[in-house]
Amino acid sequence: MPRFDETTIEPEKIMGFVKNAVKIVLVLIVALAAFDSFFTVKETQRAVLTQFGRFVEMRGPGWNWRLPFIQGAVKYPINLQAFVEEKVNTYTVDNQELDAVFTVNYRNPASNVENTFKTFPDLEARLKTLAVDRFKAEVGRVNVTEIAQKRGGTRDKIMRVMKKDAHDLFGVEVTDFQITNIDYNKTFRDANNAASVAKAKVEQAEQEKRQASIDAERTKIRASGEANAVEEKARGDANGRLLNAEAEAKAIRLKGEAEADAIRAQATALAQNQQLVELRKAEKWNGALPSSMLSNVMPFMNVDQQIKR
């Protein structure tokens, strides 16, 4: 059986192996170059084309091409961006310490991207530094109670300063600034809590005073109403009794007048007709004669006269 000598390798095989390896490397390089030659830019972005780190030109949205391994592309957002600064420690004009959290919204216009690339590659870091500085400067001018009670006014002042300085320094548009939280030191919180308790007690006392006044007024009105009702009832009863008395007196007077008129009428009739007396006697007579009569007593009725008639 023939021995295989490992030290002897045919040159043709070596050359074939090298050629294959070179082909593979070339294919990989071409594929990598082709892959690296194209890049996309979104509508909300702009790209800076660079060559060995230097600015070449601006590129817009869509597919873009570059020289592989020579040119690069740096993308910048041009839509609304935001950052949050937490635990920003500062002091008010009355030497009250506080920690704040605020949010900044900003937009870097497409026309400013080239300037950003050339001058402010660390744009957001610079904006954060600017925001912290302007926040501390404005808070240092006001009393702590102004921040606590008029947070909106303090925010608006910082917003105006930030908007102007960010545009003048970096060409950036600041669209909003919000103080999302303020954490006061313990001394101020304790004093504020004590003041709140005192204010609540005063308001409660005032409320109780107002309620007592309302209750007293209601009692007064109720008593006055009851007194008026009693007075009106008494007046009504008196008027009723007076009316009854007047009615009774009038009835008696009318009855007396009627009786008097009747008597006068009868008297007039009797005076004018004597026969009416005899008629009344006859009407009252039951037809019986007296059981005994005195000779000198005249009958109660003149019978003869009646018979003659």
| Domain membership flag for residue 295 | no
Mean pLDDT of 23-51: 79
Query: Exposed/middle/buried for 166, CB within 10 Å: 0-12, 13-18, 19+?
Result: buried
Q: Do 214 and 175 sit in the same domain of this protein?
A: no
Distance CA(65)–CA(39), nearest Å, equals 6
Q: Do 66 and 101 sit in the same domain of this protein?
A: no
Q: Do 89 and 146 sit in the same domain of this protein?
A: yes
Neighbouring residues of 172: CB distance < 8 A, sequence distance ≥ 6: 106, 107, 108, 109, 112, 123, 127, 166
CATH of the domain at 88: 3.30.479.30
Mean pLDDT of 280-305: 58
CA–centroid distance for 128 within its chain: 36
Per-residue pLDDT band for 290 (boundaries 50, 70, 90) equals low
Tens-digit pLDDT profile for residues 159-179: 999 999 999 999 999 999 999
| Domain membership flag for residue 140 | yes
Which has the higher per-residue pLDDT, 1 or 10? Answer: 10
Which has the higher per-residue pLDDT, 261 or 40? Answer: 40
Per-residue pLDDT band for 4 (boundaries 50, 70, 90) equals very low
Structural domain ending residue among the three candidates 77, 93, 121:
77
pLDDT at 158 over 80: yes
Query: Exposed/middle/buried for 139, CB within 10 Å: 0-12, 13-18, 19+?
Result: buried
User: What single-letter DSSP state applies at residue 287?
Assistant: S
Tens-digit pLDDT profile for residues 194-250: 666 667 777 777 887 888 888 888 888 887 778 777 777 777 777 777 777 777 777
Q: 251 in helix, strand or coil? A: helix
pLDDT at 3 over 60: no
| Domain membership flag for residue 191 | no
In this prediction, residue 42 carries a pLDDT of 96
Which has the higher per-residue pLDDT, 122 or 17? Answer: 122
In this prediction, residue 278 carries a pLDDT of 66
| Domain membership flag for residue 257 | yes
Mean pLDDT of 22-33: 64
Which has the higher per-residue pLDDT, 277 or 262? Answer: 262
Q: Do 176 and 131 sit in the same domain of this protein?
A: yes
Distance CA(266)–CA(262), nearest Å, equals 6
Q: Do 85 and 171 sit in the same domain of this protein?
A: yes
pLDDT at 308 over 50: no
In this prediction, residue 258 carries a pLDDT of 76
pLDDT at 5 over 70: no
Q: Do 167 and 132 sit in the same domain of this protein?
A: yes
Q: Do 264 and 212 sit in the same domain of this protein?
A: yes
pLDDT at 297 over 60: no
In this prediction, residue 34 carries a pLDDT of 56
Structural domain ending residue among the three candidates 49, 77, 105:
77
Domain count, the chain: 3
Q: Do 88 and 163 sit in the same domain of this protein?
A: yes
Domain range spanning residue 171? Answer: 81-184
In this prediction, residue 309 carries a pLDDT of 47
pTM score, whole prediction: 0.55
Structural domain ending residue among the three candidates 77, 101, 135:
77
Distance CA(302)–CA(294), nearest Å, equals 16
| Domain membership flag for residue 141 | yes
Which has the higher per-residue pLDDT, 299 or 170? Answer: 170
Mean residue pLDDT of the chain comes to: 81
In this prediction, residue 306 carries a pLDDT of 46
In this prediction, residue 36 carries a pLDDT of 66
| Domain membership flag for residue 174 | yes
Percent of the chain at pLDDT > 70 equals: 74
The lowest-confidence range among 94-98, 131-135, 177-181, 201-205 is 201-205
| Domain membership flag for residue 215 | yes
Mean pLDDT of 48-77: 93
